[in-house]
Structure 1
Amino acid sequence: MARVAIPTKEQAPAKAQPILANYEKVLGTIPNFFALISQSPDALKAIADMHGTLGKSLGHGTRERIHIAVAEANGCDYCVSAHTYLGGKLSGLTQEDMELNRDGHSNDPKADAAVQFAHRVAKTRGHIDAGDFEAVRAAGFSDAEIIDIVAELGFSFVTNLFNNTFKTDIDSVFPVIHTKSKPTA
């Protein structure tokens, strides 16, 4: 159970309601994560802006793969559940691929390089070696796209922190997936 109340769109502050309405329009539902943070309209706007702006160069499928890999690395059940749902529904990712994503891989060769890189950056908190960087570059990612991978990973970290801290309830439309292990304090 969430540590704070998850308001409905109507219970959310007026400043947050249009943002929630947009998520409802695009996704057909308002994910509990966005409803929870709507209690701070400024936080909701910042996260919604980041969410809507990032990752276009990577494509939706690679974005979802990165989110799944990072959620697994950070032990975020909510995000691994949400992005598995979104990866399948909106990006057409297979269950097999999404399971590989949880271990930092993909069955798509180019996406595999991005997911491996994102997973490594997440696990080391950015303390990677030159070989990690060169591998993603050798797979065909430009410097701008590598920056986008790290930015997307940063967005994932933010959502993972919120959902782990507040124990956000997994939405009923998402499959309930538990991460394989939780990071230790």
Structure 2
Amino acid sequence: MARIAIPTKDEAPAKAQPILENYNKVLGTIPNFFAMISQSPDALKAIADMHGTLGKSLGHKTRERIHVMTAEVNGCSYCLTAHSYLGAKLNGLTAEDLELNRSGHSTDPKADAALTFAYKVAQSRGHIEDADFEAVRAAGFSDAEVIDIVAETAFSFITNLFNNTFGTERDDLFQPALTVRSAA
């Protein structure tokens, strides 16, 4: 059970309602995470802006892969469930790839390099080795794209923190649910 109320769109502050409506248009529902943080319209706007802006150079599939990996690293069941669903249903990621994503790998060689790097960033909280940075560059990622990998990983940490802290209830839409394997 969530530690704080998850308001409906109509119960949310007026300043938050247009952002929630946008998520409703795109997904056909308002995920509990966004509804929950709508109680702070400033937090909702910041998260929505980051969500809409970051990682475009990486593509949707790699972004979802990073979110699945980070959710596993941080023990965030809500994000693991949501992003594995979105990765499969909206981005065509296979069950095999999603399973690999959880441990920082992918069936796609370039995405594998991004995920391997992002996994090391997440696990070490950014204390990587020079060889890690050189490996992601050698896989064809520009400095700007490496920044985007770190930014997407950091953004995912933010959502994991919110959902772990407040015990956000899983949305019925995000089925089937994966279970976090790692100890957070």
Task: Find the aligned partners of 1:17 and 1:87 in 2 and give their Cα distance.
Answer: 26
Q: Does 1:7 align with 2:10?
A: no
Matches within 5 A, 1:32-51: 32-51=32-51
Unaligned runs of 5+ in 2: none
Match of 1:150 in 2: 150
Task: Find the aligned partners of 1:182 and 1:13 in 2 and give their Cα distance.
Answer: 36
Task: Find the aligned partners of 2:27 and 2:147 in 1 and give their Cα distance.
Answer: 27
Q: Does 1:164 align with 2:155?
A: no
CA RMSD in angstroms comes to 0.6
Match of 2:180 in 1: 179
Structure 2 residue matching 1:57: 3-state secondary structure: helix
Matches within 5 A, 1:40-79: 40-79=40-79
Structure 1 residue matching 2:92: 3-state secondary structure: coil
Letter in 2 for 1:179: V
Match of 2:88 in 1: 88
Structure 1 residue matching 2:57: 3-state secondary structure: coil
Task: Find the aligned partners of 1:11 and 1:118 in 2 and give their Cα distance.
Answer: 37
Task: Find the aligned partners of 2:160 and 2:40 in 1 and give their Cα distance.
Answer: 17
Structure 1 residue matching 2:91: 3-state secondary structure: coil
Task: Find the aligned partners of 1:20 and 1:150 in 2 and give their Cα distance.
Answer: 27
Q: Flag as ranges the 4+ runs of structure 1 deviating above 3 A.
A: none
Question: How far off its partner does 1:29 sit?
Answer: 1.1
Q: Residues 116-141 of structure 1: CA distance to partner in whole angstroms, max 9, x if unpaired?
A: 11111000000000111111111000
Task: Find the aligned partners of 2:65 and 2:85 in 1 and give their Cα distance.
Answer: 11
Unaligned runs of 5+ in 1: none
Q: Does 1:134 align with 2:150?
A: no
Q: Residues 66-97 of structure 1: CA distance to partner in whole angstroms, max 9, x if unpaired?
A: 00001101110000100001001111100110
Task: Find the aligned partners of 2:134 and 2:72 in 1 and give their Cα distance.
Answer: 24
Task: Find the aligned partners of 1:107 and 1:36 in 2 and give their Cα distance.
Answer: 34
Match of 1:122 in 2: 122
TM-score normalised to structure 2 length: 0.98
Question: How far off its partner does 1:5 sit?
Answer: 0.6
Question: How far off its partner does 1:182 sit?
Answer: 2.2
Task: Find the aligned partners of 2:36 and 2:52 in 1 and give their Cα distance.
Answer: 18
Task: Find the aligned partners of 1:143 and 1:181 in 2 and give their Cα distance.
Answer: 30
Q: May I ask how many residue pairs the two structures share in their alignment?
A: 183
Letter in 2 for 1:9: K
